[in-house]
Chain A
Amino acid sequence: MSTIEVNKITPVSGGTAIQVGESGDTITVPSGATITNSGTATNFTSYRPNAQPIIINGNMDVWQRGTGTVTTTGDYVGVDRFKISEDTDGSFSTQRHTMSNAEFTTTGFGYALQADCTGTDASIGASQTAEITQKIEAQNLQLLQYGTSNAKNLTLAFWVKSSKTGTYCVAIRKRDSTSYDIPIEYTISSADTWEKKVINISPTAGSTSLITSSGGVIDNDNGDGLFVVFALAIGSNFHGTNNTWVAATKVATSNQVNWMDSTSNDFYLTGVQLEVGEYSASTLPSFQHETYAANLARCQRYYYLHADTAQDGGPTIGNGSIYNATTAQISVDLPVNMRTNVSISSVNVSSGYVIFHNGGTTNYNYLTVGNGTYTSAGCTSVMMDVSGATSMTGGQACWTRGNSTGAGIMCAFSAEL
């Protein structure tokens, strides 16, 4: 290697630009060297305005409700933050998929969401759908500046694999004010092969001005902001024009495959990231890997598994006080500020729970919402009541735990979008 030692390189007389190398060349900055910027650096594409990923649990690491196979028609059932919806004449299940070494080598992710078609529907009805959705809280999306002329471009990227090749769709559904949808096609080219998709979402896609007008606003609150929808099978009522915003529910195009047509069909998804800005596969910023604890905490804003017999046969639920013969108020401090007043999940089992008080015990059947109100700022603690207790004595202190092995989730709190 030859070496040139100079203190300054300037353009030739009359010029203002200097080019280093040619297209395709690699310019190497040696380890330990530093590039400093005392002017303006442009077109370095790693700038990211959001400190944390916009998509929560995009790496499919957190599964508070369980990692096993679950079939549902429309609910949050396994992986956190992704809602599974199906109302076709068929059925599909989801579960956690652990990546093989080869898959990990390719994608860089340890887990994926796996969907398996378990019951077929060869002809999807006009109003039927099968889809996977992440709903994003509105106040986390203010940086998009939707509803203004400065509305930002977005880039959705993800790893996907399916036994069924063809045209699939993702959709962005903007909630609040007027609801606007945009379906965008992508192609799964090779069966059973991980492929990374990078999809640009312009606020003016289809030469529209819906998002840049006032109706495109996303309210600065804790309600629905954007829905990111991964279509599996979509009826014709919800077919729109590719890459065009519309004021209607349109989550796919007519080219979307019918993934529900064979029980041999599977669909794997991981590494979901939504970036502010327009990126290509070569300029896309790296996936923001959080610690498991940070990822879990963000998921817990929407769902918090508090006590589970799968983890402990008699899980502690909380402390409290007995109000009268049938009522005890049990308080639980939540690990994070949850989105809204929470729903309480428990199990209706005769004597499935037990209260310890004044040297004795009283059994009860399930938990209900107790006294207490919360502000719109969110929910930081929960007051619960018990159902099915008798013959207690008011004024006593108490603590309670689950009393039913094998029941699974004994106490959980939900504030999902």
Chain B
Amino acid sequence: MFENAKSIKYNKNFEGKKNAVNVIFNADTNGFERVLSIPMDEANKDYQDILQWVADGNTIAEAD
């Protein structure tokens, strides 16, 4: 589901709390890197996919 991802990192809000996961995908055919910023809400389908990706043995990188 994130095979084409260039990076998957936590996002921190201005209070320094993790509040999302940012997925940056490799450039598309037009040369643009798409970004998906996913809230850490288990009702969000993209976050469900992130949790599955982690359950499959992958790790979310820490925020910059």
Identify the A interface with B (CB < 8 A): 74, 222-223, 323-324, 327, 329, 339-349, 366-371, 374, 376, 384-385, 387, 406-409, 414-417
Q: Using an 8 Å CB-CB cutoff, how does the interface string of B17-52 with A read, 1 for contact, 0 for none?
A: 001101010000010111111110101111100000
The chain B residue sitting closest to A368, CB to CB, is B37
Task: Give Cα A341 to B42, complex, Å.
Answer: 9
| Partner among A74, A339, A343 whose Cβ is within 8 Å of the Cβ of B36 | A343
The chain A residue sitting closest to B46, CB to CB, is A343
Q: Looking at chain A's contact residues, is the secondary structure mostly helix, strand, loop, or mixed?
A: loop
The answer to whether A345 and B34 touch across the interface, beta carbons within 8 angstroms, is: yes
| Partner among B15, B32, B35, B46 whose Cβ is within 8 Å of the Cβ of A367 | B35
Going nearest first, the 3 A-B pairs with the smallest beta carbon separation are A369-B20, A348-B33, A341-B41
How far is the CB of A384 from the nearest CB of chain B, in Å?
8
The answer to whether A340 and B30 touch across the interface, beta carbons within 8 angstroms, is: no
Tier of interface size on chain B: 20 to 34
Task: Give Cα A368 to B22, complex, Å.
Answer: 7
- Chain B residues near A367: list those with CB within 8 A: 35, 37
Task: Give Cα A342 to B30, complex, Å.
Answer: 25
| 12 more CB-based (< 8 A) A-B contacts, given A342-B39, A409-B34 | A329-B14, A340-B41, A340-B43, A342-B44, A343-B44, A345-B34, A345-B35, A346-B35, A369-B13, A371-B15, A385-B11, A408-B32
The answer to whether A371 and B39 touch across the interface, beta carbons within 8 angstroms, is: no
B55 on the A face (CB < 8 A): no
Among A324, A384, A408, which residue has the most Cβ atoms of chain B within 10 A? A408
The chain B residue sitting closest to A383, CB to CB, is B13
- Chain B residues near A327: list those with CB within 8 A: 14
- Chain B residues near A369: list those with CB within 8 A: 11, 13, 19-20, 37-39
20 contacts between A and B (CB under 8 A): A74-B1, A323-B14, A343-B39, A343-B44, A344-B35, A347-B34, A347-B35, A348-B24, A348-B33, A348-B35, A368-B11, A368-B22, A369-B19, A369-B38, A371-B15, A371-B19, A374-B41, A385-B11, A385-B14, A409-B34
The answer to whether B38 and A343 touch across the interface, beta carbons within 8 angstroms, is: yes
Among A347, A376, A408, which residue has the most Cβ atoms of chain B within 10 A? A347
The answer to whether B30 and A406 touch across the interface, beta carbons within 8 angstroms, is: yes
Task: Give Cα A341 to B37, complex, Å.
Answer: 11
- Chain B residues near A323: list those with CB within 8 A: 14
Task: Give Cα A414 to B34, complex, Å.
Answer: 14
| Partner among A349, A385, A414 whose Cβ is within 8 Å of the Cβ of B32 | A349
- Chain A residues near B34: list those with CB within 8 A: 345-348, 409
How far is the CB of B37 from the nearest CB of chain A, in Å?
4
Assess A414 versus B46: contact at CB under 8 Å? Given A368-B20, A368-B22, A385-B14. Answer: yes
Task: Give Cα A215 to B39, complex, Å.
Answer: 31
The chain B residue sitting closest to A344, CB to CB, is B37
Assess A415 versus B44: contact at CB under 8 Å? Given A345-B34, A345-B36. Answer: yes
The chain B residue sitting closest to A224, CB to CB, is B45
Among B1, B32, B36, B37, which residue has the most Cβ atoms of chain A within 10 A? B37
The chain B residue sitting closest to A74, CB to CB, is B1
The chain A residue sitting closest to B7, CB to CB, is A348
- Chain A residues near B20: list those with CB within 8 A: 368-369
How far is the CB of A226 from the nearest CB of chain B, in Å?
16
The answer to whether A223 and B43 touch across the interface, beta carbons within 8 angstroms, is: yes
How far is the CB of B29 from the nearest CB of chain A, in Å?
10
- Chain B residues near A329: list those with CB within 8 A: 14
How far is the CB of B21 from the nearest CB of chain A, in Å?
9
How far is the CB of B22 from the nearest CB of chain A, in Å?
6
- Chain A residues near B37: list those with CB within 8 A: 343-344, 346, 366-369, 384
The chain B residue sitting closest to A302, CB to CB, is B45
Assess A366 versus B46: contact at CB under 8 Å? Given A348-B24, A371-B14, A385-B14. Answer: no
- Chain A residues near B45: list those with CB within 8 A: 340, 415-417
Assess A341 versus B43: contact at CB under 8 Å? Given A368-B11, A369-B37. Answer: yes
Task: Give Cα A384 to B15, complex, Å.
Answer: 14
How far is the CB of B23 from the nearest CB of chain A, in Å?
9
The answer to whether B36 and A344 touch across the interface, beta carbons within 8 angstroms, is: yes
The chain B residue sitting closest to A76, CB to CB, is B45
